[in-house]
Amino acid sequence: MNRAELATAARTSVGYVQKLEQGHADNPSPTVVDRLADALGSVSVERQHLHDLAGAQRGDQAEPGRRQEVTSVQREAADGLHPSLAAYVDEGWNVLYSNAEYRRVFRRITEVGNVLTWFFYMPESKAVMVEWEYEARLTVAWLRALMARRPGNPMFAEVLDMLSRSTEFVRMWELQEVILGRHKPHFLVHDLDRGREVELLAQVYPSPDPSQEMQLYLGIPAR
């Protein structure tokens, strides 16, 4: 679809579409964003990403986040979820707290303290993750979606700077994929201690406390 066709389908002008492409359009309304998404045939995640980007231009995003603190109650809850793998992770994929099973299976992840850093700088990640390429791309695309929601958060700049030296990360980042959530509920890991492959059900629970920009990630062993 060319620029003129997109403008016609979205009921706007070619000039406005050009400004949007160049990042010079001010305050695109939700209605215009929806029309553009419809014209582009966007799926729900892509539509939400467009709204997140438009919201950033309108200035209606939340203030940049701060380092999150995991409470003692949350730590006890994560520890009590054994044999499931449990960890509290913030929007920059920093591991704020994890239970013993998470640390055991995702070997050395707490040494680097960040899921993406573990994927791209720790060789153990490729030994553990059966579908390493798929899971790494998913995590990168998920990061891009989260960044659109918190464009002013300096944490993201730190994460990108940290990862910029990885050619594999740069390759995946340049794909410009946007994903928010998993399409496949299960994933496979190699349990290096026990010498076997394990299927895990992935579940994600946002913190019910709006002041905590973190999520609880679970890997539940399939029965």
Query: What are the tens digits of pLDDT across the range 167-180?
Result: 999 999 999 998 88
pLDDT at residue 25 is higher than 90: no
Higher pLDDT, 65 or 97: 97
Q: In whole angstroms, what is the distance from residue 54 CA to residue 131 CA?
A: 34
Which is nearest to 189 in space by CA: 113, 111, 117, 109? 109
Average pLDDT over every residue of 47-59: 52
Q: In whole angstroms, what is the distance from residue 34 CA to residue 40 CA?
A: 10
pLDDT band for position 38 (cuts 50, 70, 90): confident
- Domain boundaries along the sequence of the chain: 3-58, 72-221
pLDDT at residue 67 is higher than 60: no
Averaging pLDDT over each range in 15-19, 46-50, 157-161, which range is the top one? 157-161
Query: At residue 94, what is the residue type?
Result: N
pLDDT tens per residue, range 73-104:
999 999 999 999 999 999 899 999 999 999 99
pLDDT tens per residue, range 3-21:
777 667 767 777 766 766 6
pLDDT-above-90 percentage for the chain: 55
Where is average pLDDT lowest: 50-64, 113-127, 128-142?
50-64
pLDDT band for position 39 (cuts 50, 70, 90): confident
Where is average pLDDT lowest: 63-67, 120-124, 165-169?
63-67
Contact by Cβ (8 Å): 11, 34: no
Domain 72-221 has CATH 3.30.450.180: yes
